[in-house]
């Protein structure tokens, strides 16, 4: 026979520092209140977001762009000794030309593909706004020459959109997908985009930890 009890605490005790003993939180009917891993990592200051394209200025691909290996259009570089869990991505195609159907392939590689010939992307921002932990990752966009060849490229999802498309939003969420990639550096989380003069905005969100957190 087992006996499991928690202290009823709709309004819980809260500490402002680590290392203190505290009761497990429970509701008045005995239900245990638990935070999932991603929420706990966000509270710890281990979740980051990076935007590419800002307010009124989208990222613009070339006039005619086919998806080409080693030519990603937006990517996150994960260095050695760092690991990330991609959590969320929103990619908005604001507009595109009239001549070519577009497509987006999102996935990861088991190597850091580097910068190639590309442009620096947005600086990762800690989603625990006052936390001082900074990301070890960097973002890049618009490869106009080959990056380092991909090692073990895994495609997580693919989208397509019509020529002359406007305001098309493509969202990937790790919880909805049921697929939990853990990118251990060096690694890359990347997007390939094909189409005709695609103007887009992208936000990528990930949890980031020292690689030795994982076995």
The residue ranges of the chain whose pLDDT is under 50 are none
- Extents of the domains making up the chain: 1-34, 38-213
Report pLDDT for 35. Answer: 83
Report pLDDT for 28. Answer: 86
From 50, 43, 79, select the one nearest 139 (Cα to Cα): 50
**CB distance 195 to 68 below 8 Å:** no
From 125, 101, 121, select the one nearest 194 (Cα to Cα): 101
String of DSSP letters for 181-197: --EESSEEEEEEEEBSS
Instruction: State how far the Cα of 25 lies from the Cα of 55, in Å rounded to an integer.
Output: 41
Report pLDDT for 29. Answer: 86
Helix (H), strand (E), coil (C) string for 146-160: CCCCCCCCEEEEEEE
pTM of the model: 0.92
Report pLDDT for 193. Answer: 96
Instruction: State how far the Cα of 116 lies from the Cα of 47, in Å rounded to an integer.
Output: 27
Three-class DSSP category at 44: helix
Report pLDDT for 27. Answer: 85
Report pLDDT for 4. Answer: 81
How many Cα atoms are found within 13 Å in the side-chain-facing hemisphere of 79? 6
Report pLDDT for 195. Answer: 92
């Amino acid at each position: 026979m087992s006996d499991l009890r928690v202290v009823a605490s709709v309004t819980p005790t809260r500490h402002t520092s680590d290392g203190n003993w505290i009761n497990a939180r429970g509701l008045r009917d005995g239900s245990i209140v638990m935070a999932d891993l991603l929420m706990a990592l966000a509270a710890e200051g281990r979740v980051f977001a990076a935007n590419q394209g800002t307010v009124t200025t989208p990222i613009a691909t070339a006039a005619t762009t086919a998806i080409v290996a080693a030519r990603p259009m937006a990517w996150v570089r994960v260095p050695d000794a760092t690991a990330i869990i991609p959590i969320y991505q929103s990619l908005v195609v604001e507009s595109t030309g009239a001549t070519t159907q577009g497509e987006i392939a999102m996935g990861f590689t088991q190597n850091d593909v580097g910068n190639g010939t590309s442009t620096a992307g947005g600086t990762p921002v800690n989603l625990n706004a006052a936390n001082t932990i900074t990301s070890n990752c960097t973002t890049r966009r618009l490869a106009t020459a080959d990056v380092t060849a991909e090692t073990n490229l895994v495609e997580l999802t693919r989208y397509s959109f019509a020529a002359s498309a406007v305001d098309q939003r493509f969202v990937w969420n790790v919880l909805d997908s049921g697929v939990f990639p853990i990118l251990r550096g060096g690694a890359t989380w990347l997007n390939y985009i094909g189409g005709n003069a695609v103007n887009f905005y992208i936000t990528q969100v990930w949890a980031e930890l020292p690689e030795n957190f994982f076995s």
